[in-house]
Chains A and B, each alone.
Chain A
């Protein structure tokens, strides 16, 4: 009798447990569909022939997948060339303004180089802010944060004039310089909070042993903040890769980045959805790879290390 009641109880608990888990799983699935659907739709569109992209009701299946958008965007083959190739003749005509590899290269270079500089500078400044008692440190930190509050629209004009006189307009270097400035505040705060987590005794021990401050930094402290460096690098890369307004104002034919190039596919004659979808889908790959390798650090980095009161 007692044992039956016990069994019933256990079963009830098990059932509730299972029901709860199934519910949680279902809600997670719904959230994930919400996050993945637009990307799925964009990718699907990049494989659709012209008439099926702009179609009501929406087309999911039953079309002949095509790579022609990708061939134009990535291989510089025009639509006409592809037609001729399939019938045997070849012409030298290129994909024209839809050929996007140079724009992707500009984006990658600007994002990578600025990320590298940000990581180095942020590590040094973060260490400095963490290890030394500086008068008015709170104000310095808030000032650093406040530089991120400058609306890009407001910075764009002074920057344009600065760059004009310095000959930096339409150059990758110009973009790199401003991307470093844009990502430094977050990087410095992030690195400071990571260094704050390491006891000062570690550095002091090295100093007592005769190491210089710089050696203590490079050989001791830096070893403990790898995940902080990774988080800084990831965030700096994402924000530089995503940046639109500065690139729109400061870049030209020689330095146009991918987001700006994508926006030029919207013409007064209509939007080239096929090319856009192909470019957008391709552009997700670099950051995606980056993220998959170092996701753990991203999550930790987003909380600014393990920020406490």
Chain B
């Protein structure tokens, strides 16, 4: 228990064998490779992005020109950023909310072991193993305004009109169009996490509560929810990270941020700035901005729910 960084290895048994393996007695050799790997691929790009954010890339000369705080000032004056932030927040909150509710519902249902539950559970894993880029293409085919199978039924059920389809028109339903693949693909993720959490709950408190006359809702509210809290927090954290920055695949393929800028999420705007407008400095600012938002969110979430690793 009290094994410390410096270790007390060499004192107890100075046998030859022990000496050969003594380097493993401290934490360093265990961690060094992973930490170095992460450092090279995260600290370096991060520092590089911060550094580049003080330059602008001149397409004429092909070099970086010092720009001082220009890119950072622009962040606060650019209405497109605030639009993108609003779109992103809407996307994240809608996606997270729907996936959490549906996922919880499905987990509770499957936890009751309905007939055929193992088949249902296996089927649920399938959406997760299709690359999001391919999922986006699948939904592009299904959401096509005149030939899409989803559009066809949406028209039949009067949920949509051909004037305002999923993709195109004025974009009234463009948000739905990019949310659908995300919900389809990642609701299973939520459901599986929560289901595994439900399965790991101890039985005793529930039996005791039953004896004390607590009804099903009370047991859910005062036992299930609090006990599942850490697992739900983890699920929410990972989903928010992905909804926030990896919605790119769906937007890139399905709507390209359109119509207008109705679906231009931050990650897509960053992509456009960096690769279409070749404004690398400002693109770096946007990337750091996104990272800051996520780190703050992650810290708050972990503090508020007192999560311990």
Residues of A within 8 A of B (CB): 21, 24-25, 27-29, 31-32, 34-36, 38-39, 41-42, 45, 53-58, 121-122, 124-125, 127-129, 131-135, 138, 140-142, 144-159, 161-162, 177-178, 180-182, 184-186, 188-189, 192-193, 200, 210-215, 217, 238, 241-245, 249, 258-260, 262-263, 265-266, 271, 273, 276-277, 280, 283-284, 287-288, 291-292, 295, 298-300, 302-304, 306-309
Q: How far is the CB of A22 from chain B (nearest CB, A)?
A: 9
The one of B3, B119, B193 that contacts A302, using a Cβ cutoff of 8 Å: B193
Establish whether residues A303 and B34, one from each chain, have CB atoms under 8 Å apart when the complex forms: no
Establish whether residues B2 and A133, one from each chain, have CB atoms under 8 Å apart when the complex forms: yes
Establish whether residues B231 and A238, one from each chain, have CB atoms under 8 Å apart when the complex forms: no
Q: Which residue of B lies closest to A141 (CB)?
A: B309
Establish whether residues A154 and B284, one from each chain, have CB atoms under 8 Å apart when the complex forms: yes
> Given known contacts A125-B31, A244-B131, is B291 in contact with A149 (CB within 8 Å)?
yes
Residues of A within 8 A of B130 (CB): 39, 242, 280, 283-284
Can you sample 7 A-B contacts with CB below 8 Å?
A35-B188, A36-B126, A131-B3, A151-B291, A153-B287, A214-B21, A277-B141
Q: Which residue of A lies closest to B136 (CB)?
A: A263
Establish whether residues B112 and A210, one from each chain, have CB atoms under 8 Å apart when the complex forms: no
Among B25, B133, B195, find the residue whose CB has the most chain A CB atoms closer than 10 A.
Answer: B133
Closest 7 CB pairs of A and B: A154-B287, A212-B21, A128-B30, A181-B41, A213-B24, A125-B34, A158-B45
Establish whether residues A25 and B114, one from each chain, have CB atoms under 8 Å apart when the complex forms: yes
Q: How far is the CB of A80 from chain B (nearest CB, A)?
A: 25
Establish whether residues B45 and A150, one from each chain, have CB atoms under 8 Å apart when the complex forms: yes
Main SS of the interface on chain B?
helix
Q: In whole angstroms, how far apart are the Cα atoms of A249 and B274 in the complex?
A: 11
The one of B21, B249, B270 that contacts A244, using a Cβ cutoff of 8 Å: B249
> Does B192 make an interface contact (CB < 8 A)?
yes
Q: In whole angstroms, how far apart are the Cα atoms of A61 and B123 in the complex?
A: 23
> Does B134 make an interface contact (CB < 8 A)?
yes
Establish whether residues A154 and B140, one from each chain, have CB atoms under 8 Å apart when the complex forms: no
> Does B241 make an interface contact (CB < 8 A)?
yes
Q: How far is the CB of B184 from chain A (nearest CB, A)?
A: 6
Residues of A within 8 A of B129 (CB): 238, 241-242, 284, 287-288, 291
Establish whether residues B30 and A124, one from each chain, have CB atoms under 8 Å apart when the complex forms: yes
The one of A125, A151, A186 that contacts B245, using a Cβ cutoff of 8 Å: A151
Residues of A within 8 A of B4 (CB): 133
Establish whether residues A56 and B152, one from each chain, have CB atoms under 8 Å apart when the complex forms: yes
Given contacts A121-B37, A280-B130, 18 further A-B contacts (CB under 8 A): A36-B126, A54-B144, A58-B149, A144-B38, A145-B298, A149-B295, A153-B283, A153-B286, A153-B290, A156-B274, A158-B52, A213-B21, A215-B21, A242-B129, A245-B248, A302-B193, A307-B230, A307-B234
Q: Which residue of B lies closest to A291 (CB)?
A: B125
The one of A25, A38, A45, A147 that contacts B38, using a Cβ cutoff of 8 Å: A147
Residues of B within 8 A of A146 (CB): 294-295, 298
Q: In whole angstroms, how far apart are the Cα atoms of A280 and B127 in the complex?
A: 12
Establish whether residues A263 and B184, one from each chain, have CB atoms under 8 Å apart when the complex forms: no
Establish whether residues B294 and A149, one from each chain, have CB atoms under 8 Å apart when the complex forms: yes
The one of B1, B38, B114, B246 that contacts A185, using a Cβ cutoff of 8 Å: B38
Residues of B within 8 A of A292 (CB): 122
Establish whether residues B138 and A159, one from each chain, have CB atoms under 8 Å apart when the complex forms: no
Q: How far is the CB of B304 from chain A (nearest CB, A)?
A: 13
Residues of B within 8 A of A29 (CB): 120
Establish whether residues A210 and B18, one from each chain, have CB atoms under 8 Å apart when the complex forms: yes
The one of A21, A132, A157 that contacts B30, using a Cβ cutoff of 8 Å: A132
Q: Mark B23-39, 1 if CB is under 8 A from A, else 0.
A: 01111011101110110
Establish whether residues A212 and B22, one from each chain, have CB atoms under 8 Å apart when the complex forms: yes
Q: In whole angstroms, how far apart are the Cα atoms of A284 and B288 in the complex?
A: 35
> Does B116 make an interface contact (CB < 8 A)?
yes
Establish whether residues B133 and A260, one from each chain, have CB atoms under 8 Å apart when the complex forms: yes
> Does B86 make an interface contact (CB < 8 A)?
no
Q: In whole angstroms, how far apart are the Cα atoms of A104 and B15 in the complex?
A: 52
Q: How far is the CB of A166 from chain B (nearest CB, A)?
A: 11
Establish whether residues B152 and A157, one from each chain, have CB atoms under 8 Å apart when the complex forms: no
Residues of A within 8 A of B266 (CB): 151
Among A35, A180, A243, find the residue whose CB has the most chain B CB atoms closer than 10 A.
Answer: A35
> Does B307 make an interface contact (CB < 8 A)?
yes
Residues of B within 8 A of A181 (CB): 37-38, 40-42
Residues of B within 8 A of A39 (CB): 126-127, 130, 138
Establish whether residues A128 and B31, one from each chain, have CB atoms under 8 Å apart when the complex forms: yes
Residues of B within 8 A of A145 (CB): 298
Q: In whole angstroms, how far apart are the Cα atoms of A54 and B144 in the complex?
A: 9
Residues of B within 8 A of A162 (CB): 44-45, 48
> Does B76 make an interface contact (CB < 8 A)?
no
Establish whether residues B125 and A303, one from each chain, have CB atoms under 8 Å apart when the complex forms: no
Establish whether residues B134 and A280, one from each chain, have CB atoms under 8 Å apart when the complex forms: yes
> Does B214 make an interface contact (CB < 8 A)?
no
Q: In whole angstroms, how far apart are the Cα atoms of A215 and B86 in the complex?
A: 53
